[in-house]
């Protein structure tokens, strides 16, 4: 056996042969951690993509109180996202707030969704958002009714009234002016606060204000189709025949206004009003109780005297009952007659008087109005309030009024008028003054002075005592004459009167229906009647047979 060089000795012959084996495919523990990190990253990425909420943009006039990365977006105080970036718009008129929302907020976004900034706010009747003094401002949202999804919104500068998801109903009120109403102004039912003004805006026609009010359940069931709404803003002060009246709902209405409603008591309950039913908002409770009629006719009345105190809106009354109002008062110069006329345009609701008749227009009123004017219907200007001097137009029947008729002219017929009481009294006073001015005052004063002087002379004359003595003597003679009449003439007169009374009694007994004389007169009158009939028969026979004078009756 040979030994290899460098070896220590020869190798033995019985050594086993080496076995060559290939290595197995094993993953080293070094790769476990990277693989696990990759799986977790992929899962997080998938979760981030699938659970990521929408990204929206909200525009505000300013970014006061807002901060990127900190300002939260909340709905019902539940955090749904946060502001990630605040930018200035390209025209620099407003700011753009970009916010990332949670996945659960995706179904809450539509074109009806509203956003606004919640800050500490002190209102007339409440204090809100004091917590933001410590936690900072946040953006609140109101999903509103469902609508098409959008991702750009215009933020509200004033916090609205959130009614989404609350039981109740919305109603629309139309008014000519906003008064002191604002978002959040209370709505009362029998002096109980049952809702508030949710929003208001100008109507498309630009003539009315649309108030969107929300009535909470269960009070919304008291809003019927014939319900009336009125303004209770501030203090309702009125002076009438019943004295001074002062009304107000609550102290809150003095600060921010309010609305009250109720159904008419003299009418049957109507059906419940549906969502967004439109009502009229009256100025006060008295205006809401006034009945309104569809037919309104316009007339002209002309006054020649002063109309101080008469203005548009003044009432038109018929014997104290309102039937319309004054629309306009003008001053017109008549160039032909060279006089100043004051035509007053009035509006009358004829159905207030002619409720039982079917009226379609002013043409249906011609026969009735012509007859009323012929009977003395006239318009007069009267004082409606002694304190303020306000005037009104009063209609009444004046049978002694001068004859007149309606001037059926276009565009409005003209009704006749009479001077008012003040004008009549003034004209009478002027007439009396004119008569006094025509009196010869100086001549009367001179004659009166001369009479006084003559009276003084007569009182100092010595003939006055003699005249008085003679007058006393005449009075004594007259007294003696009256005494003789009582003693001598009076008994004779009484005797004569008794005789006359007896004669009248006899005549009454003779003329009595049961007396013999009456029976005799009756028989005599019967005989005279028979003779008259016989004479009439003879006369008629002779008219037809004149030959009877010669030949006799039946002769020839």
161/457 Cα distance (integer angstroms)? 102
Q: Which of 340, 344, 348 is nearest to 330 (CA)?
A: 344
SS3 322: strand
- Pairing between β-strand 277-282 and β-strand 168-175 as defined by DSSP bridges: parallel
67/136 Cα distance (integer angstroms)? 9
CA distances from 409 to 342, 343, 362 (A): 17, 14, 12
287 burial type by CB count under 10 A (0-12 exposed, 13-18 middle, 19+ buried): middle
Tokens of 95: 């700011």
CA distances from 24 to 20, 29, 30, 373 (A): 13, 15, 17, 127
Tokens of 9: 């000795």
Task: Report if pTM > 0.75.
Answer: no
- Under DSSP, the state recorded for 22 is P
- Pairing between β-strand 315-318 and β-strand 391-397 as defined by DSSP bridges: parallel
Task: Respond yes or no on whether the N-terminal peptide bond of residue 411 is cis (omega within 30° of 0).
Answer: yes
395/315 Cα distance (integer angstroms)? 11
- The percent helix, strand, coil of the chain (3-state, each to 5) is 35, 30, 40
329/300 Cα distance (integer angstroms)? 10
Q: Which long-range contacts (CB under 8 A, 24 or more apart) does 127-136 make?
A: 128/159, 132/65, 136/65, 136/67, 136/70, 136/71
Give the pLDDT of the chain (556 residues) as one tens digit per residue: 455 555 555 656 666 777 666 555 555 666 777 888 888 887 777 776 666 788 999 999 988 889 898 999 998 888 999 999 999 988 889 999 999 998 888 888 888 899 989 886 655 555 555 555 566 788 999 888 888 889 899 998 888 877 777 889 999 999 988 887 888 889 999 889 999 998 888 888 888 999 999 999 999 999 998 899 998 875 665 554 445 565 655 555 555 678 999 988 777 777 899 999 999 999 888 888 877 777 888 999 988 778 888 888 889 999 888 888 999 998 888 788 778 888 899 998 888 887 666 677 778 888 888 899 999 999 988 887 777 778 899 999 998 888 998 888 878 899 998 886 665 566 566 667 767 677 676 777 777 777 777 776 666 666 667 777 777 777 777 777 667 666 665 666 677 767 767 766 666 666 555 556 556 666 666 666 666 666 666 666 666 666 665 556 655 5
Q: Are 162 and 234 in contact (CB under 8 A)?
A: no
467/31 Cα distance (integer angstroms)? 168
Q: Are 171 and 163 in contact (CB under 8 A)?
A: no
């Amino acid at each position: 056996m040979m030994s290899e060089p460098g070896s220590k000795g020869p190798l033995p012959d019985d050594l086993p042969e080496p076995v060559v084996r290939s290595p197995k495919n094993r993953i080293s523990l070094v790769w476990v951690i990277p693989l696990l990190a990759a799986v977790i990253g992929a899962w997080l990425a998938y979760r981030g993509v699938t659970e990521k909420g929408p990204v929206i943009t909200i525009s505000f006039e300013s970014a006061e109180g807002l901060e990127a990365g900190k300002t939260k977006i909340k709905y019902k105080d539940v955090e749904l996202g946060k502001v990630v970036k605040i930018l200035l718009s390209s025209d620099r008129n407003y700011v753009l707030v970009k916010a990332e929302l949670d996945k659960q907020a995706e179904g809450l976004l539509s074109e009806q969704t509203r956003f606004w900034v919640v800050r500490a706010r002190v209102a007339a009747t409440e204090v809100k958002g004091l917590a933001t003094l410590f936690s900072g401002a946040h953006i609140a949202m109101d999903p509103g009714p469902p609508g098409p999804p959008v991702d750009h919104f215009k933020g509200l500068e004033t916090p609205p009234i959130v009614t989404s998801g609350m039981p109740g109903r919305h109603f629309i009120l139309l008014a000519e002016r906003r008064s002191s109403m604002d978002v959040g102004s209370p709505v009362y039912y029998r002096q109980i606060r049952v809702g508030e003004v949710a929003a208001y805006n100008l109507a498309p026609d630009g003539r009315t204000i649309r108030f969107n009010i929300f009535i909470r359940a269960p009070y919304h069931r008291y809003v019927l189709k014939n319900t009336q709404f009125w303004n209770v803003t501030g203090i309702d002060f009125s002076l009438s025949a019943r004295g001074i009246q002062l009304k107000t709902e609550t102290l809150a209405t003095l600060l921010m206004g309010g609305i009250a409603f109720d159904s008419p008591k003299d009418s049957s309950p109507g059906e419940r009003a549906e969502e967004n039913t439109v009502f009229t908002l009256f100025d006060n409770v008295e205006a809401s109780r006034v009945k309104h009629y569809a037919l309104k006719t316009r007339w002209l009345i002309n006054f020649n005297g002063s109309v101080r105190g008469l203005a548009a809106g003044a009432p038109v009354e018929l014997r104290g009952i309102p039937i319309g109002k004054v629309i306009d008062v003008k001053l017109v110069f008549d160039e032909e007659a060279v006089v100043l006329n004051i035509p007053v345009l009035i509006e009358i609701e004829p159905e207030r008087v002619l409720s039982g008749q079917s009226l379609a227009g002013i043409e249906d009123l011609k026969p009735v109005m012509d007859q009323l004017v012929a009977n003395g219907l006239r318009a007069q200007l009267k004082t409606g309030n002694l304190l303020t001097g306000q005037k009104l137009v009063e209609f009444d029947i004046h049978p002694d009024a001068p004859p007149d008729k309606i001037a059926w002219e276009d565009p409005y017929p003209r009704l006749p008028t009479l001077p008012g009481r003040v004008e009549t009294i003034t004209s009478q006073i002027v007439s009396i003054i004119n008569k006094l001015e025509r009196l010869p005052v100086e001549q009367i004063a001179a004659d009166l002075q001369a009479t006084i002087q003559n009276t003084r002379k007569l009182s100092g004359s010595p003939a006055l005592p003699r005249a008085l003595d003679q007058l006393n003597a005449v009075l004594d003679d007259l007294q003696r004459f009256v005494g003789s009449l009582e003693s001598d003439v009076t008994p004779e007169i009484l005797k004569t009167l008794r005789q006359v009374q007896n004669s009248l009694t006899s005549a009454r007994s003779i003329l009595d229906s049961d007396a013999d004389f009456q029976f005799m007169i009756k028989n005599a009158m019967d005989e005279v009647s028979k003779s008259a009939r016989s004479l009439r028969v003879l006369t008629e026979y002779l008219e037809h047979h004149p030959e009877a004078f010669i030949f006799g009756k039946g002769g020839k």
